[in-house]
Amino acid sequence: MVFMVLSYIHAGHCLPADEHPRLHPSSSLTRGWCRALGVHGSRGPRSRRQSATTSNPPLETGDMAAGEELSRLEELLRRPDYVLEPAVKDNVRQYIKAGGKPEVILESLTEGYVGYAHMAMMMVKWMDMVEDEPLTNHDEFFYLKEFTKAKFDPDKFVGIFASQSTRSQGLPWLEGLLSDPRGRKFFYELSASHRNSLLLNFTIQKIMKMGYQDEVAAAGSGLASYFSVFHKLLENKIAALLAVVRRAAEAEAAAGARGGGGNRGGAAALEAARAQAKQEVAALVKDLRDSCEQSQHTYLHVQHMLHYLGNQRGGEALLAVAQQLEADVAAAGPSLPVWSMQKLYAPQGSSAAQVEACNLIGRILQAGPEGTAASDVQRLYGLYSSAPEEAVGSGGDGGVGSSARRQGGSDSGAASAGSLSTAPLQHPRLVQALLACIFNASRPPSSDLLTASADLLARATCTRPVPIQPPKLTTTTDTQQVASQQRQQPGAGSPSAEDPAGAAAATDRAGESRRITETTQMLHWAVGVLSRTHGRFTEEDFAMAPQLHRMPVVAHGLLHAVSCQLGSPAFYDDAAAAAAAVPSLLRISLWVAEWQPHLISKVLSSWSIALTELHRAGLGDLCRLLLDGCVALLRQQATAATACRSYEAVGPSGKTLDPSESGPAVPGGAVREVLDLVEAWSRQGSADPGLLRYFVLQVLAFASPPYSSDFCGAMLRLLLAAGMRATNVRNEAAAALLREFALAAEGLSASFTPPLTAREQHLLAELAASGGGLAPAQRAGT
């Protein structure tokens, strides 16, 4: 390093060549460096200092600053091991430019060198030499494994199973490796690196036969290239899925035997069973995705298996798994065109119309709910509307002579001539796309698009596809015998009492046709209701609203339209238009929440945005109207809980139940969500205290003790946010409601989680000490 620095100095990078100072060979080390650099001076330091003394003028202010700079740089150069610092070259350059002497640089850097870095390196090497245990304790197996992985050539084992020794003795060396967990792991790692090796395929299958299926499954997607292994693992996963579905069905049946899960313990057990089933199915779907998303052929094989088994009787859960797998693989990345593969899942022997319908469905799924082309929807409607009426359900296996066709196996499910299965229409993403086509506030649908989408939605939600059975291979003689027997049967070819299967099929088709007609009419009504959001609803609208509980698809469509408006901040940019539409949209969303309670969370999500945006726009009256909607939801929950409590106390058969088993069958999640919505709005800092007080009093007007600790805690926080004090309440009825609430809440003081704050405790004590309670007559009047 010293040589490099001084070479840099001698090369003239710091000073011009004619101004370059000469080194004085005053010491042997200096003379050695000078010979190496080719510098020979005739004047020593003493003559140089003498000349400087006799020729330089007195020091000025600039000379003093230069001297201070030289002193600072010399102090740096004298530091221990400074020659190893990255900035040494720059500081040497500055020192020379400031008038410093090269011999001082050389002396400072050489005398300051200690060698700490080299000593540290040497100590590390010494420690490695005297260490009792190596840092990584690898045995011979590890090194042999790494050597084998580096040298393994699958081509050299192509003929191993054709040799006489292998046929007679097998592979004894393989047995020893497979008996050791490390040996099995070695083959898993080798299989992930070398695809389609005969030896490795044989080895993995042997491991599975030895009972290590879980180990092979844990190896992941690296074994997907070995199809027999992959298929066996898929078989195990599907068996696990069916076991989960079976346990969930048994839990549902047990809850039904106990009276529909009416008691608190039964409802909790049923919810726990459902949650457990969802978690297990989600984990299995994730395993399927990880194992099949690496290549298109493995993904298609999984989907074909799920669709084939899902089309069998009782296999609906596997179709749902196939659809969830599609969504998960599509969300993971665009490596596979999962949505456009629908036509590949059509049953063998499907008609050209069925394949075309699946192809159109794939196009709609690929475009997504927001990009669906109206032409694709109308073409799909044309295919289904032109199909024979007997194919309303699954297509083709019901109707005249259906029993004989099942016996002969000449026709099955969607494979019948001219019939179309409704199973492809029941894809969740397709239903979402069709709903988005007609429930679009910014772009109302045309009459043709409305007719097409409503018909397809009705077919998708009102029919139950008949399980598709694989066609049987029969001889011509068997077919003739079946036909002869059918002709000899009295009343053959028509559904009658002598053909119960045909009569049942006819009844089912009649019921499906009726439900399709009703749902189509209801969808047209819902689209009409949305067109009247700036006006008044008719008596027919209020009469039709209760039908939403029988037609969830209509409720989902209305909720989609409401969410696109109330749940969009851009909707409130035009304050006048928003003010005109919000009351009607709130009424529609209340209908949805009342008749489809499982959608309350989505309704409240839109209301949360609406409350914030309405307050920001200064529309206080509409904020109050929305809070009235929240109170209405809470009142509905209270009414439902009271009804369920009465049902529990008496029992479904009139038998009195144990009071300890009674309780609200309706979960209180909706109550908690409503209170969370208002509380979140109160924490924004700009909430109107008057509106908060109004909300609290409206809730207390119908909610009577006993209360839960969560309810009391939320109400106390709202009262504090509203600035409520006992001395500020002038209305006697309101004061009585608050006293009743405070007295009931004081009895729960030990069960609050988290505990009440000092302010909340003070407010509670103040309200409780303000007077007596509220009489029932006063509550009714309030």
The DSSP element (H or E) to which 712 belongs, if any, is helix 709-721
Instruction: Tell which wins on pLDDT, 8 or 320.
Output: 320
How far is it, in rounded angstroms, from Cα 423 to Cα 466? 9
How far is it, in rounded angstroms, from Cα 637 to Cα 269? 21
pLDDT of residue 587 exceeding 80, the answer is: yes
**Which amino acid, residue 664?**
P
How far CA 107 is from CA of 23, 110, 717, in Å, comes to 12, 5, 77
Which structure tokens are listed for 67? 């001297």
Q: Which of 44-53, 84-93, 241-250, 458-467 has the lowest mean pLDDT?
A: 44-53
pLDDT band at 565 (very low <50, low <70, confident <90, very high): very high
Which structure tokens are listed for 280? 């297990």
Nearest 5°: the CA angle 380, 381, 382 is: 90
Which structure tokens are listed for 361? 């469905």
226-262 pLDDT per residue, tens: 666 677 778 878 888 888 888 888 888 887 776 554 4
At residue 206, what are phi and psi to the nearest 5 degrees?
-65, -40
Which structure tokens are listed for 502? 């045909």
pLDDT band at 554 (very low <50, low <70, confident <90, very high): very high
Residue 585 · residue 533 · CB < 8 Å: yes
Q: Which of 70-84, 321-335, 411-425, 669-683 has the lowest mean pLDDT?
A: 411-425
Residue 570 · residue 578 · CB < 8 Å: no
Strand intervals (E) in 202-281: none
Q: What number is the average pLDDT over the span 769-775?
A: 56
Which structure tokens are listed for 96? 């020379």
How far CA 751 is from CA of 277, 700, 707, 710, in Å, comes to 32, 20, 12, 9
What's the per-residue H, E or C state across 741-770?
A: HHHHHHCCHHHCCCCCCHHHHHHHHHHHCC
Q: Which of 210-214, 533-537, 578-582 has the lowest mean pLDDT?
A: 210-214
Q: What number is the average pLDDT over the span 441-459?
A: 91
How far is it, in rounded angstroms, from Cα 34 to Cα 28? 10
pLDDT of residue 488 exceeding 90, the answer is: no
Q: What number is the average pLDDT over the span 570-578?
A: 90
Nearest 5°: the CA angle 562, 564, 569 is: 115
How far is it, in rounded angstroms, from Cα 624 to Cα 614? 10
Which structure tokens are listed for 489? 């049967």
- Burial (Cβ within 10 Å: 0-12, 13-18, ≥19) of residue 778: middle
Which structure tokens are listed for 465? 């596809």
How far is it, in rounded angstroms, from Cα 408 to Cα 149? 57
3-state helix vs strand vs coil in the chain, percent to 5: 70, 0, 30
Residue 773 · residue 739 · CB < 8 Å: yes
Give the 3-state secondary structure of residue 117: helix
Q: Is 401 left (phi over 0), alpha (psi -120 to 50) or beta?
A: left
- What was the pLDDT predicted at 123? 79
How far CA 626 is from CA of 167, 583, 636, 662, in Å, comes to 82, 8, 15, 33
Q: Which of 146-155, 380-389, 468-477, 669-678 has the lowest mean pLDDT?
A: 468-477
How far is it, in rounded angstroms, from Cα 607 to Cα 713? 22
- What was the pLDDT predicted at 499? 61
pLDDT of residue 475 exceeding 80, the answer is: no
User: Residues 6 or more apart from 339 whose CB is under 8 A from it?
Assistant: 326, 330, 362, 365, 366, 429
pLDDT of residue 322 exceeding 80, the answer is: yes
How far is it, in rounded angstroms, from Cα 56 to Cα 71? 19
Which structure tokens are listed for 644? 């369920």
pTM over cut 0.95: no
Peptide bond into 495 cis (omega under 30): no
Kindly report the number of other CB atoms within 10 A of residue 643's CB atom. Answer: 13
Residue 700 · residue 634 · CB < 8 Å: no
Nearest 5°: the CA angle 482, 483, 488 is: 100
Query: Which of 42, 10, 1 has the alpha carbon at shortest distance from 25?
Result: 42
